[in-house]
Amino acid sequence: MRVDEFLEPRVLIVSGKGGVGKTTVAAALALVAARRGRTVCLAEVDRKGSLPKLFDAPGLGYDPKEMSPGVWGMNIVPEAALAEYLEVQYHMRRISKAFSSTHFVDYITTAAPGLKDILVLGKIWYLEQGRDSGGGQPHFDTIVVDAPAAGHMLSFLSAPMGLSDALQIGPVRRQSDWLIGMLRDPERTRVHLVTLPEEMPVSETLETAEALRTKVGIDTGAVFANAVYSKLFTPAESKRVGELLNGRLDNGAAGTLPVKTLPTTTLMTEAKAVGLDLDSDDIDAVLGYARFLEARRAIQASHLKKLKHGVADPVIELPFLFSAGLALPDIETLADGIETEIEEI
């Protein structure tokens, strides 16, 4: 698939269980789009504040701000969305501001669950329609939404359906139908799920994808499997690592070398030949990490298999980054990975 084709729907909603790196993937997707000359709005919804940190930008407000060339960040706050809605629909901005300082939105959204979600989705629709409240922001070609965690995702996306069912007529009914139209149209909106190649995240992703399709009527676009350890060894090398770890060389009938002798002597000799002095702790360490990598890769492979088997969508594998604190260069690396993987779909 061409990357431009992948970016065809204007609204890209990125969701997943907490801790799987959905904010990182959303940011990387935004970079991919920006690299292709698109003006991107990267929106966070639940005020986590981790987006601006990735871009080393100050905290985000309701008005989009450019965080890196072509990528504008914003925070969709339901209260602010309500104020904007009231302003545009009913010219009531001043009074609505008074309520945002109280718990008012909390009460009303408790009484009518999903209203908060509708306010957020309404703002996304506004952006998709290329409208704004006159703040002089650019026209956005792509809107990437760092959506709420998967558990809340279903209620988030199905909120307009609930409202439409409840209301037979009127302006609000019409507006919620607009939102449904946007969400259910794969040419306008795509939901991408992010997961980790681990037991719980994979089962939850499969459940979410299924529920989105059957309960909400939205197909997911792609599933991003994050932090996949890259393949390092050829099959022959893997076997050799196994032999070295066992400390035994299979010499057929000739017998085996004593335990522990083989890895030490073999690898030390190779190292010495290039002027590198390794002691037995070093040998233990390099072999230990090789074993760790292979063991984790085996675990990941079984979950990836289950994931690929369970979803109809392409699974995009993103590499484990050997860095604990993510920053812009890491996001760029992930963006590279996304581009390559999309082209292979």
Q: Binding to another protein (CB under 8 A): which residues in 62-81?
A: none
Contact 119, 82 (CB under 8 A): yes
Q: Which helix (H) or strand (E) holds 332?
A: helix 328-343
Q: Which stretch binds another protein (CB under 8 A): 136-144, 182-190, 208-216, 282-290?
A: 282-290
Question: Distances in Å between the alpha carbon of 166 and those of 154, 161, 300?
Answer: 18, 9, 44
Select 24 or 220, whichever has its Cβ closest to another protein: 24
Select 57 or 345, whichever has its Cβ closest to another protein: 57
Select 253 or 274, whichever has its Cβ closest to another protein: 274
Burial (CB count <10 Å: 0-12, 13-18, 19+), residue 81: buried
Residue 17 within binding range of another protein, rule CB under 8 A = yes
Taking residue 201's Cβ as centre, other Cβ atoms within 10 Å add up to 23
Interactions with another protein, residue window 283-302 (CB under 8 A)? 284-293, 295-296, 299
Burial (CB count <10 Å: 0-12, 13-18, 19+), residue 281: exposed
In the chain, the amino acid numbered 158 is S
Min CB(12)–another protein separation in Å:
22
Interactions with another protein, residue window 97-136 (CB under 8 A)? 98-99, 102-104, 106-115
Select 281 or 344, whichever has its Cβ closest to another protein: 281
Interactions with another protein, residue window 181-210 (CB under 8 A)? 198-201, 203
Select 133 or 155, whichever has its Cβ closest to another protein: 155
Q: 220-228 and 315-319: which strand pairing?
A: parallel
d(CA 22, CA 147): 8
Min CB(342)–another protein separation in Å:
25
Select 1 or 285, whichever has its Cβ closest to another protein: 285
Q: Comparing C-alpha atoms, which of 86, 92, 84 is closest to residue 63?
A: 84
> Number of residues in contact with another protein, rule: CB under 8 A?
75
Q: Which stretch binds another protein (CB under 8 A): 66-74, 183-191, 274-282, 337-345?
A: 274-282
